[in-house]
C-alpha cells in the first residue's frame, strides 16, 4: 500500500473501533474526540489524514510542532492542535500561542507560567492535569493522592481553569484500573474531560469514560525511535 492508503485505512479502522466502543458503552460517538498523534511524522504523512477530514492532532514537542504545523494549519482552517507531551515552563509562551489544548499540566511552575501567558495572550487552551496513576518515579504527572490539592491550587493560586485529567497507564500493567482511578478523581473534582487511551487500549478507555483518545501508531503506522 502507498503511505496515503495506509494512513487513511488506519484512520478508518480507528474511527470504526471508536464507534463500536461507544455503542457497547451506550455512549454517543460525538462525546469522544479522536486526537490523531502525529509526532515524528512529516507533513506528507499528515496530509492524507487531514484530507480524510480529521480535525484534531496531537504533538509531544513544541519545537517540532512549530516547524511542521503553521503551513498545515494555514491550509486547513478549523484544525485543532493538542500538546500531549511534557512541557517545560520556558515553553509556555509558545505552547499557549500554538496549541488549542495542553494535556500535560503537572507542576506549579508550569501552572504559573501558563497562567501568565493565558492572561497576556488572551487565549485560553483547554487544560488537562496529568495524573501519574501508577506513581511511577520516572513518569511526569501529579500523584493520585495529591491531585485534589493540586487542582485546588491551579484554580486558587494560578487562576487556571482546568477542564479535565489525562493519564498514561504503566506500560506493563492492565490499563483499566488506571482509567478508573483517573475517572474517579475527575468526577469528585467536577471535571468533565478525560484524556485517556492510546492505540493499544483506547476502546477500554472509552468504556471507562474517556472523552479524548490519543491515537498515533494505529493511524500513522509504527514510529522510528524518537
Ligand X SMILES: *Cc1c(COP(=O)(O)O)cnc(C)c1O
Positions touching ligand X (CB under 6 A) are: 37, 39, 60, 84-85, 168, 198-200, 214-218
Of 34 and 114, the one with the shorter C-beta distance to ligand X is: 34
Of 119 and 135, the one with the shorter C-beta distance to ligand X is: 135
Residue 215 CB, nearest approach to ligand X (Å)? 5
Contact 192, 210 (CB under 8 A): no
Residue 18 CB, nearest approach to ligand X (Å)? 13
Residue 60 CB, nearest approach to ligand X (Å)? 5
For residue 154 the three cell numbers come to 491551579
Residue 43 CB, nearest approach to ligand X (Å)? 18
Of 27 and 214, the one with the shorter C-beta distance to ligand X is: 214
For residue 122 the three cell numbers come to 488572551
Of 129 and 198, the one with the shorter C-beta distance to ligand X is: 198
Question: For the residues of the chain, what is the DSSP string, one character each?
Answer: --HHHHHHHHHHHHHHHHHHHHHHTT--GGG-EEEEE-TT--HHHHHHHHHTT--EEEES-HHHHHHHHHHHHHHSTT-EEEE-S---GGGHHHHHHH-SEEEEE--HHHHHHHHHHHHHHT---EEEEEE-TT--TTS-SB-GGGHHHHHHHHHHHH-----EEEE---TTS-SHHHHHHHHHHHHHTT--EEE---TTTHHHHHHTT-SEEEE-HHHH-PPPP-
Of 88 and 217, the one with the shorter C-beta distance to ligand X is: 217
Residue 77 CB, nearest approach to ligand X (Å)? 25
Find the residue with minimal CB distance to ligand X. 216
First to last CA, the chain: 24
Of 87 and 116, the one with the shorter C-beta distance to ligand X is: 87
Amino acid at each position: 500500500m502507498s503511505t496515503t492508503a495506509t494512513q487513511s485505512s488506519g484512520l478508518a479502522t480507528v474511527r470504526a473501533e471508536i464507534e463500536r466502543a461507544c455503542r457497547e458503552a451506550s455512549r454517543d460517538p460525538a462525546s469522544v474526540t479522536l486526537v490523531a498523534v502525529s509526532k515524528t511524522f512529516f507533513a506528507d504523512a499528515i496530509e492524507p489524514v487531514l484530507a480524510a477530514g480529521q480535525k484534531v492532532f496531537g504533538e509531544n514537542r513544541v519545537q517540532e510542532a512549530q516547524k511542521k504545523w503553521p503551513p498545515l494549519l494555514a491550509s486547513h482552517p478549523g484544525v485543532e492542535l493538542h500538546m500531549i507531551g511534557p512541557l517545560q515552563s520556558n515553553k509556555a509562551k509558545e505552547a499557549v500561542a500554538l496549541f488549542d489544548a495542553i494535556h500535560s499540566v503537572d507542576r506549579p511552575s508550569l501552572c504559573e507560567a501558563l497562567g501568565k501567558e493565558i492572561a497576556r495572550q488572551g487565549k485560553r487552551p483547554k487544560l488537562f492535569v496529568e495524573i501519574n496513576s501508577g506513581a511511577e518515579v520516572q513518569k511526569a504527572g501529579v500523584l493520585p493522592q495529591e491531585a485534589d490539592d493540586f487542582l485546588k491550587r491551579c484554580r486558587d493560586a494560578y487562576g487556571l481553569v482546568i477542564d479535565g485529567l489525562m493519564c498514561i497507564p504503566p506500560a506493563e500493567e492492565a490499563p483499566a484500573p488506571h482509567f478508573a482511578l483517573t475517572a474517579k478523581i475527575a468526577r469528585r473534582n467536577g471535571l468533565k474531560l478525560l484524556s485517556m487511551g492510546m492505540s493499544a487500549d483506547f476502546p477500554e478507555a472509552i468504556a471507562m469514560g474517556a472523552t479524548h483518545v490519543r491515537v498515533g501508531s494505529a493511524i500513522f503506522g509504527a514510529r522510528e525511535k524518537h
